[in-house]
Chain A
Amino acid sequence: ETGVTQTPRHLVMGMTNKKSLKCEQHLGHNAMYWYKQSAKKPLELMFVYNFKEQTENNSVPSRFSPECPNSSHLFLHLHTLQPEDSALYLCASSQDQGNEQFFGPGTRLTVL
Protein backbone atom coordinates (compact mmCIF):
# COMPACT_ATOMS: atom_id res chain seq x y z
CA GLU A 1 0.00 0.00 0.00
CA THR A 2 1.20 3.49 -0.73
CA GLY A 3 0.10 6.96 0.29
CA VAL A 4 -2.85 7.36 2.61
CA THR A 5 -5.51 4.67 2.85
CA GLN A 6 -8.91 4.85 4.49
CA THR A 7 -11.41 2.16 5.38
CA PRO A 8 -14.25 1.70 4.92
CA ARG A 9 -14.87 3.70 1.75
CA HIS A 10 -18.61 3.81 2.39
CA LEU A 11 -20.52 3.48 5.65
CA VAL A 12 -24.21 3.60 6.43
CA MET A 13 -25.15 3.66 10.09
CA GLY A 14 -28.12 4.29 12.30
CA MET A 15 -28.10 6.98 14.95
CA THR A 16 -27.61 4.47 17.75
CA ASN A 17 -24.74 2.56 16.14
CA LYS A 18 -21.08 2.71 17.06
CA LYS A 19 -18.57 2.51 14.24
CA SER A 20 -14.97 3.48 13.57
CA LEU A 21 -13.18 4.96 10.58
CA LYS A 22 -9.58 3.95 10.00
CA CYS A 23 -6.76 5.82 8.32
CA GLU A 24 -3.23 4.64 7.64
CA GLN A 25 -0.38 6.58 6.07
CA HIS A 26 2.64 4.92 4.48
CA LEU A 27 4.62 8.13 3.93
CA GLY A 28 6.56 8.36 7.18
CA HIS A 29 4.79 11.57 8.12
CA ASN A 30 4.42 12.78 11.70
CA ALA A 31 1.18 14.76 11.46
CA MET A 32 -2.28 13.39 10.71
CA TYR A 33 -5.62 15.11 10.25
CA TRP A 34 -9.35 14.43 10.09
CA TYR A 35 -11.49 16.65 7.87
CA LYS A 36 -15.21 16.72 7.18
CA GLN A 37 -16.45 17.69 3.73
CA SER A 38 -20.14 18.50 3.38
CA ALA A 39 -21.80 19.50 0.13
CA LYS A 40 -21.04 23.08 -0.95
CA LYS A 41 -18.92 23.72 2.14
CA PRO A 42 -15.15 24.01 2.50
CA LEU A 43 -13.20 21.20 4.09
CA GLU A 44 -13.63 21.54 7.83
CA LEU A 45 -10.67 20.61 9.98
CA MET A 46 -11.77 18.39 12.86
CA PHE A 47 -8.66 17.06 14.58
CA VAL A 48 -4.90 17.27 14.24
CA TYR A 49 -2.32 14.91 15.67
CA ASN A 50 1.38 15.70 15.71
CA PHE A 51 3.70 12.92 16.83
CA LYS A 52 0.64 11.05 18.20
CA GLU A 53 -0.38 14.00 20.36
CA GLN A 54 -3.62 15.81 19.65
CA THR A 55 -2.78 19.42 18.88
CA GLU A 56 -6.14 20.58 17.57
CA ASN A 57 -9.78 19.87 18.33
CA ASN A 58 -11.84 22.24 16.26
CA SER A 59 -14.91 22.36 18.52
CA VAL A 60 -15.99 18.94 17.35
CA PRO A 61 -18.93 17.32 19.17
CA SER A 62 -18.00 14.55 21.57
CA ARG A 63 -19.88 11.99 19.48
CA PHE A 64 -16.70 12.04 17.35
CA SER A 65 -13.75 10.58 19.21
CA PRO A 66 -10.30 10.41 17.58
CA GLU A 67 -7.53 7.99 18.43
CA CYS A 68 -3.94 8.01 17.24
CA PRO A 69 -2.05 4.96 18.54
CA ASN A 70 1.07 5.78 16.49
CA SER A 71 2.23 8.20 13.79
CA SER A 72 0.96 5.93 11.01
CA HIS A 73 -2.57 5.19 12.19
CA LEU A 74 -5.54 7.38 12.96
CA PHE A 75 -9.05 6.36 13.93
CA LEU A 76 -12.31 8.25 14.24
CA HIS A 77 -14.77 6.55 16.57
CA LEU A 78 -18.40 7.42 15.95
CA HIS A 79 -21.37 7.00 18.26
CA THR A 80 -24.91 8.37 18.44
CA LEU A 81 -24.43 10.41 15.30
CA GLN A 82 -27.03 12.67 13.75
CA PRO A 83 -28.23 12.73 10.13
CA GLU A 84 -26.45 16.06 9.63
CA ASP A 85 -23.17 14.26 10.29
CA SER A 86 -23.54 12.57 6.90
CA ALA A 87 -20.56 13.73 4.86
CA LEU A 88 -17.26 12.70 3.31
CA TYR A 89 -14.63 12.22 6.01
CA LEU A 90 -11.10 12.72 4.78
CA CYS A 91 -7.88 11.78 6.47
CA ALA A 92 -4.61 13.50 5.58
CA SER A 93 -0.98 13.42 6.66
CA SER A 94 2.01 15.72 6.33
CA GLN A 95 5.61 15.97 7.33
CA ASP A 96 5.26 18.48 10.15
CA GLN A 97 2.13 20.51 10.64
CA GLY A 98 1.60 23.19 8.00
CA ASN A 99 3.26 21.54 5.03
CA GLU A 100 1.60 19.94 2.00
CA GLN A 101 -0.98 17.45 3.14
CA PHE A 102 -1.58 14.15 1.42
CA PHE A 103 -5.15 12.95 1.50
CA GLY A 104 -6.78 9.56 1.57
CA PRO A 105 -9.77 8.76 -0.65
CA GLY A 106 -12.25 9.44 2.13
CA THR A 107 -15.12 7.58 3.78
CA ARG A 108 -18.58 8.48 2.56
CA LEU A 109 -20.71 8.33 5.71
CA THR A 110 -24.50 8.25 5.71
CA VAL A 111 -26.35 8.47 9.01
CA LEU A 112 -29.97 7.31 8.84
Chain B
Amino acid sequence: DQQVKQNSPSLSVQEGRISILNCDYTNSMFDYFLWYKKYPAEGPTFLISISSIKDKNEDGRFTVFLNKSAKHLSLHIVPSQPGDSAVYFCAARDQTGANNLFFGTGTRLTVIP
Protein backbone atom coordinates (compact mmCIF):
# COMPACT_ATOMS: atom_id res chain seq x y z
CA ASP B 1 0.00 0.00 0.00
CA GLN B 2 1.43 3.35 -1.04
CA GLN B 3 2.09 5.60 1.94
CA VAL B 4 3.00 8.67 -0.10
CA LYS B 5 0.76 9.66 -2.99
CA GLN B 6 1.05 12.22 -5.73
CA ASN B 7 -2.29 12.04 -7.47
CA SER B 8 -1.47 14.37 -10.35
CA PRO B 9 0.90 12.73 -12.80
CA SER B 10 1.38 15.96 -14.73
CA LEU B 11 0.92 19.72 -14.47
CA SER B 12 1.34 22.50 -17.04
CA VAL B 13 1.85 26.11 -15.99
CA GLN B 14 2.57 29.33 -17.85
CA GLU B 15 5.96 30.93 -17.23
CA GLY B 16 5.79 33.50 -14.44
CA ARG B 17 2.74 31.94 -12.80
CA ILE B 18 2.61 29.82 -9.67
CA SER B 19 3.11 26.04 -9.79
CA ILE B 20 1.51 24.04 -6.99
CA LEU B 21 2.45 20.39 -6.60
CA ASN B 22 0.57 18.29 -4.11
CA CYS B 23 1.38 15.26 -2.01
CA ASP B 24 -0.69 13.22 0.44
CA TYR B 25 0.49 10.67 2.96
CA THR B 26 -1.10 8.10 5.22
CA ASN B 27 1.49 7.37 7.92
CA SER B 28 1.18 9.63 10.96
CA MET B 29 4.69 8.59 12.03
CA PHE B 30 6.32 10.50 9.19
CA ASP B 31 8.38 13.28 10.75
CA TYR B 32 10.30 14.78 7.85
CA PHE B 33 9.28 15.54 4.30
CA LEU B 34 11.38 16.25 1.23
CA TRP B 35 10.90 17.31 -2.36
CA TYR B 36 13.20 16.11 -5.09
CA LYS B 37 13.45 17.27 -8.69
CA LYS B 38 14.46 14.95 -11.52
CA TYR B 39 15.54 15.86 -15.03
CA PRO B 40 15.69 13.22 -17.77
CA ALA B 41 18.82 11.03 -17.68
CA GLU B 42 19.74 12.37 -14.22
CA GLY B 43 19.11 11.15 -10.70
CA PRO B 44 16.72 13.01 -8.39
CA THR B 45 18.23 16.09 -6.72
CA PHE B 46 17.15 17.35 -3.33
CA LEU B 47 15.15 20.56 -3.50
CA ILE B 48 13.64 21.49 -0.14
CA SER B 49 12.48 19.84 3.06
CA ILE B 50 10.28 20.47 6.06
CA SER B 51 10.16 19.02 9.54
CA SER B 52 6.84 17.93 10.99
CA ILE B 53 7.18 20.57 13.72
CA LYS B 54 6.82 23.32 11.10
CA ASP B 55 4.05 24.19 8.68
CA LYS B 56 6.07 26.20 6.16
CA ASN B 57 9.60 26.36 4.82
CA GLU B 58 10.77 28.78 2.16
CA ASP B 59 13.86 28.81 -0.02
CA GLY B 60 13.89 31.42 -2.75
CA ARG B 61 11.16 30.67 -5.26
CA PHE B 62 10.29 27.40 -3.53
CA THR B 63 7.98 27.07 -0.53
CA VAL B 64 6.75 23.87 1.04
CA PHE B 65 3.60 23.85 3.16
CA LEU B 66 2.68 21.06 5.56
CA ASN B 67 -0.82 20.40 6.88
CA LYS B 68 -0.41 17.60 9.40
CA SER B 69 -4.08 17.28 10.24
CA ALA B 70 -4.88 16.70 6.58
CA LYS B 71 -1.69 14.68 6.01
CA HIS B 72 -0.98 16.88 3.04
CA LEU B 73 1.97 18.84 1.79
CA SER B 74 2.45 21.06 -1.20
CA LEU B 75 5.32 22.66 -3.08
CA HIS B 76 4.81 26.15 -4.47
CA ILE B 77 7.10 27.53 -7.13
CA VAL B 78 6.77 31.24 -7.79
CA PRO B 79 7.45 32.52 -10.36
CA SER B 80 7.69 29.39 -12.48
CA GLN B 81 10.48 29.26 -15.04
CA PRO B 82 10.98 26.96 -18.05
CA GLY B 83 14.02 25.45 -16.30
CA ASP B 84 11.69 24.19 -13.58
CA SER B 85 10.22 21.69 -16.05
CA ALA B 86 11.06 18.32 -14.50
CA VAL B 87 9.51 15.48 -12.51
CA TYR B 88 8.99 16.35 -8.85
CA PHE B 89 8.98 13.63 -6.19
CA CYS B 90 7.61 13.97 -2.71
CA ALA B 91 9.27 11.83 -0.01
CA ALA B 92 8.62 11.24 3.66
CA ARG B 93 10.72 9.79 6.44
CA ASP B 94 9.36 7.26 8.90
CA GLN B 95 10.81 8.16 12.30
CA THR B 96 10.13 4.67 13.65
CA GLY B 97 12.53 1.89 12.82
CA ALA B 98 15.14 2.58 10.17
CA ASN B 99 14.33 6.19 9.15
CA ASN B 100 13.87 5.14 5.54
CA LEU B 101 12.36 7.44 2.93
CA PHE B 102 9.10 6.66 1.15
CA PHE B 103 8.59 8.26 -2.25
CA GLY B 104 5.57 9.22 -4.31
CA THR B 105 5.20 8.42 -8.00
CA GLY B 106 6.14 11.93 -9.11
CA THR B 107 4.44 14.81 -10.92
CA ARG B 108 5.78 16.00 -14.26
CA LEU B 109 5.77 19.80 -14.34
CA THR B 110 5.92 21.60 -17.67
CA VAL B 111 6.43 25.34 -17.60
CA ILE B 112 5.33 26.87 -20.88
CA PRO B 113 7.37 29.88 -22.06
Contact = CB atoms under 8 A, between A and B. Distances in A.
A40 to B, nearest CB: 6
Nearest to B32: A98
A104 interface: yes
Given A100-B46, A102-B46, A48 B100 contact: yes
A76 interface: no
Contacts of B105: 40-42
Contacts, number: 53
B104 A103 contact: no
Given A42-B2, A98-B93, A105 B100 contact: no
Contacts of A42: 2, 4, 89, 102-106
Q: Size range of the interface on B?
A: 20 to 34
A97 B104 contact: no
A101 B98 contact: no
B70 interface: no
Interface in B73-113: 89, 93, 95, 98-106
A45 B3 CA distance: 13
Interface in A33-72: 40-43, 45, 48, 55-56
Contact of A105 (B34, B41, B95): B41
A40 B103 CA distance: 12
Interface of A: 4, 6, 40-43, 45, 48, 55-56, 90, 92, 97-98, 100-106
23 contacts: A6-B43, A40-B9, A40-B105, A42-B102, A43-B89, A43-B103, A45-B100, A48-B100, A55-B98, A90-B43, A98-B95, A98-B98, A100-B46, A100-B49, A101-B46, A102-B45, A103-B36, A103-B45, A104-B43, A105-B41, A105-B42, A105-B43, A106-B43
Closest 4 A/B residue pairs (Cβ): A98-B99, A103-B43, A43-B103, A42-B103
